[in-house]
């Protein structure tokens, strides 16, 4: 009996020690994790006017944003969203540009607007694209992305690449241009009629005899020099009276003497 109890106790002890060894060997040793440094911007601004651009002393456009990050080590400024108001020479806002985000350098030599870019030109045309870039060197706005323009007449033009002046007043699509034109047949008919009227007016002007050129009016100096000449003969000529009524005093007949004494 004692031998069996001792054997049973030994088996139990061996199992316990084996299980403890397994648990100790399977335990993971936690290594010290390296310190991760999170990069943060140098400055943060909210609701700020970022830049005013002037052309010959006149405000040309103004860039505003609701959130700005300035990264000094990268020489970059990130903004979101991009709000640009464009002004004419009288200081009136004539166009604007909106985008989800924007990027520029610290010297503001360029402004890159990207993400749902929408612009309205002074003539009423709207421009949509994935990105637009303003370059200070030539003061132009351009993109190589796909662009879609709806003109003030309702025509839809689309293609790849876009270039415009800074005021978005004169623009063009660079390549692969397609479009949908509203009332194209009516507009072509009106243009043909207008051209026919111009040709008819030119033909009438060519057939009519030329009008004589008007004589130049005499100048005041010439009119003062040329005084009207008096007709000497007319002043010395006798009046138109019958000759029998004209008698000279020296040729009168002698008076008759009275008869009498």
65 in any annotated domain: yes
Query: 98 in a domain, yes or no?
Result: yes
- Split at pLDDT 50, 70, 90, the class of 225 is low
Tell me, what CATH number does 63's domain have?
Answer: 2.60.450.10
Q: Is residue 174's pLDDT more than 80?
A: yes
Q: Name the phi and psi angles at 94, rounded to 5.
A: -115, -15
Question: Which residues constitute the domain of residue 68?
Answer: 43-180
Residue 164 domain-assigned (yes or no): yes
69 domain residue, yes or no = yes
Residue 1: its pLDDT value, please? 47
Residue 260 φ then ψ, to 5°: 160, -120
Does 220 score more than 70 pLDDT? Answer: no
The per-residue pLDDT for range 186-196, each reduced to its tens digit, is 777 788 788 88
Q: Mean of the per-residue pLDDT values for the chain?
A: 75
Q: So what's the pLDDT on residue 173? A: 95
pLDDT in tens, 52-68: 888 788 888 888 899 98
Q: What's the pLDDT score for residue 117?
A: 96
Place of tokens 């194209």: 184
**What b/e readout covers 213-232, taking b as 16+ CB neighbours within 10 angstroms?**
eeeeeeeeeeeeeeeeeeee
Band of the pLDDT at 160, cuts 50, 70, 90?
very high
Confidence category of residue 198, pLDDT binned at 50, 70, 90: confident
Burial of 133 (0-12, 13-18, 19+ CB in 10 A): middle
The answer to the question of residue 239 being in a domain is no
Q: What is the pLDDT of residues 98-156, one digit of tens each?
A: 999 999 888 888 999 999 999 999 989 999 999 999 998 898 999 999 999 998 888 89
State yes or no: pLDDT of 203 exceeds 80: no
pLDDT of residue 89: 85
Distance in angstroms (rounded) separating the CA atoms of residues 25 and 88: 79
- The stretch 80-102 carries a mean pLDDT of 91
Band (219; pLDDT cuts 50, 70, 90) = low
Q: Within a domain: residue 82?
A: yes
Indicate whether 203 belongs to any domain.
Answer: no
Any residues with CB less than 8 A from the CB of 32 and at least 6 apart, and which?
A: none
- pTM score above 0.85: no
Is the pLDDT score of 21 beyond 70? no
Over 50: is that where the pLDDT of 247 sits? Answer: no
Q: How many domains does the chain have?
A: 1
């Amino acid at each position: 009996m004692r031998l069996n109890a001792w054997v049973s106790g030994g088996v139990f002890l061996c199992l316990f020690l084996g299980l403890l060894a397994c648990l100790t060997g399977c335990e993971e040793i936690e290594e010290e994790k390296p310190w991760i440094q999170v990069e943060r911007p140098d400055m943060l601004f909210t609701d700020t006017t970022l830049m005013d651009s002037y052309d010959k002393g006149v405000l040309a456009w103004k860039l505003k944003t609701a959130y700005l990050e300035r990264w000094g080590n990268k020489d970059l400024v990130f903004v979101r969203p991009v709000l640009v108001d464009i002004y004419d020479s009288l200081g009136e806002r004539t166009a604007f540009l909106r985008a989800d985000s924007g990027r520029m350098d610290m010297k503001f030599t360029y402004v890159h607007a990207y993400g749902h870019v929408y612009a309205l030109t002074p003539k009423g045309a709207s421009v949509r694209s994935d990105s637009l870039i303003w370059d200070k060197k030539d003061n132009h706005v351009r993109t190589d992305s796909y662009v879609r323009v709806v003109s003030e007449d309702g025509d839809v033009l689309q293609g790849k690449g876009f270039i415009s002046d800074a005021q978005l007043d004169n623009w063009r699509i660079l390549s692969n241009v397609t479009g949908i034109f509203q009332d194209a047949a009516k507009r072509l008919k009106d243009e043909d009629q207008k051209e026919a009227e111009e040709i008819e007016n030119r033909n009438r002007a060519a057939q009519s005899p030329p009008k004589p050129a008007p004589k130049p009016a005499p100048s005041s100096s010439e009119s003062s020099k040329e005084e009207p000449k008096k007709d000497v003969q007319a002043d010395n000529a006798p009046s138109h009276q019958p000759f029998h009524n004209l008698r000279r005093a020296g040729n009168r007949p002698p008076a008759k003497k009275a008869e009498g004494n």
